[in-house]
Amino acid sequence: MDAALRQHWLDRLYNLRRDKRGDHERPHKPALLLALFERMDRAGIGLNAFSPDEELVRAFRRYFEVVQQRDDRPTLENPFFHLCGDGFWELVPAPGQGPTYVAGSASGTPSLAALRRQVAHGRFVSEFWELVCEPVARHQLREAIIARYFPEKRVELQVLAGEIESAVADAESEPDLPPGRDAAFRRIVLEVYDYTCAACGARLVMGDDALVEAAHIIPFSIGRNDKPTNGLALCPNHHWAMDRYLIAPCPDTKERQGVWRVSRRLDDRLQGQRDLAALAGRPVIPPGEEKFYPAPEALRWREEKLATG
């Protein structure tokens, strides 16, 4: 498949429309996708037709039990119906049912019983189906979903997938991720920070290009975490300085998004280091929505590295 088309679908997977409760985003859609990929593994690909039957319910609940938080409930009908809004999933009506329901414009989510009466099956759109039919691509997309939505549950989810897919049977392995994963992370982080450096406030956008870069707070090689809460938009200078543990976003009791601390190695008397040293105590410039504020555990990780750097 064309690289641009692969990137298109990966971007969609990294930006699933999900129900929000404060700073918590529901895990239903990515959990359903993991269950659908498992069904493909079990069936040896099979047909592009997935019924909301008991087998799928059980697979969905296995993944959901690993990733659920707070008051999340394992309701398969919710993501099975609403995944239509993400551009790669569609519902085929049962005989006698009209197209309005297929378009996802019905009011509210139907019950599971109603879903089974009114829908023959769900299916991926043809271009996405072509992609996920490739075993390597499907494996890579599974890993990308975990990195984006459930990095802290990576081992447990790999164990579930490893019951089917020998390539990830070893939970300590480092599976390949799809080309373009970093670009998908970059796009979502720059958008939530409105292309503004979280250290100095620099913002320059020219067409599809921008001055700032997407930086992982906990490096991806360590955390394999592509959540936006593990990202910051930074200009090249401050990205470079953070990667070398000269500056760090750190927890703060007053500023929920954190504040900048600087290394003792910096000397504010020196011309080349003065601007970096001046960051000390300044609040991290936050993203547009509170749900994307840096994760506290990521800020603590940077604080510890700064202290020992």
What would the pLDDT profile of 19-46 be if each residue is shown by its tens digit?
766 667 899 999 999 999 999 988 877 8
For residues 39-56, average pLDDT: 90
Range name among 109-113, 243-247, 252-256 with the lowest pLDDT average: 109-113
Residues sharing a CB contact under 8 Å with residue 118, sequence separation 6 or more, in sequence order? 93, 94, 97, 101, 110
Query: Looking at the predicted structure, is the pLDDT value of residue 2 above 90?
Result: no
Percent of the chain with pLDDT over 70: 90
> How confident is the model at residue 171, as a pLDDT?
38
Token reading at 234: 């930074």
Q: How many CA atoms lie within 13 A of 266 on its CB side?
A: 23
> How confident is the model at residue 44, as a pLDDT?
79
Name beta bridge partners: 119: 93
Query: Looking at the predicted structure, is the pLDDT value of residue 266 above 70?
Result: yes
Token reading at 127: 């271009």
**Alpha-carbon gap, residue 128 to 131, rounded angstroms:** 5
Sign, Cα dihedral of 274, 277, 282, 284: positive
Backbone φ and ψ for 47, nearest 5 degrees, come out as: -90, 155
Query: 132: pLDDT confidence band, cut at 50, 70 and 90?
Result: very high
Pairing between strand 209-210 and 205-206?
A: antiparallel
Query: 89: pLDDT confidence band, cut at 50, 70 and 90?
Result: very high
Q: Greater confidence, 205 or 45?
A: 205
> How confident is the model at residue 71, as a pLDDT?
85
Q: What is the mean pLDDT of the chain?
A: 88
> How confident is the model at residue 259, as a pLDDT?
98
What would the pLDDT profile of 108-124 be if each residue is shown by its tens digit?
788 999 899 889 999 99
Residue in 275, 274, 216 with CA at minimum distance from that of residue 249 = 216
Token reading at 84: 């239509």
Cα–Cα distance list, 183 to 14, 52, 84, 91, 121 (Å): 10, 33, 24, 30, 33
Q: Greater confidence, 16 or 4?
A: 16
Token reading at 269: 């008397």
Query: Looking at the predicted structure, is the pLDDT value of residue 179 above 60?
Result: yes
The highest-confidence range among 66-75, 161-170, 244-253, by mean pLDDT, is 244-253
Name beta bridge partners: 249: 260
Length of the chain: 309
Q: Is 201 helix (H, G, I), strand (E, B) or coil?
A: coil
DSSP run (H or E) holding 262: strand 259-262
Q: How many CA atoms lie within 13 A of 76 on its CB side?
A: 24
Query: 172: pLDDT confidence band, cut at 50, 70 and 90?
Result: very low
Query: 6: pLDDT confidence band, cut at 50, 70 and 90?
Result: confident
In the chain, domain spans? 3-168, 181-308
Residues 171 and 160: beta-carbon distance below 8 Å: no
DSSP run (H or E) holding 232: strand 231-234
Token reading at 193: 């920070």
Query: Looking at the predicted structure, is the pLDDT value of residue 103 above 50?
Result: no
For residues 212-229, average pLDDT: 96
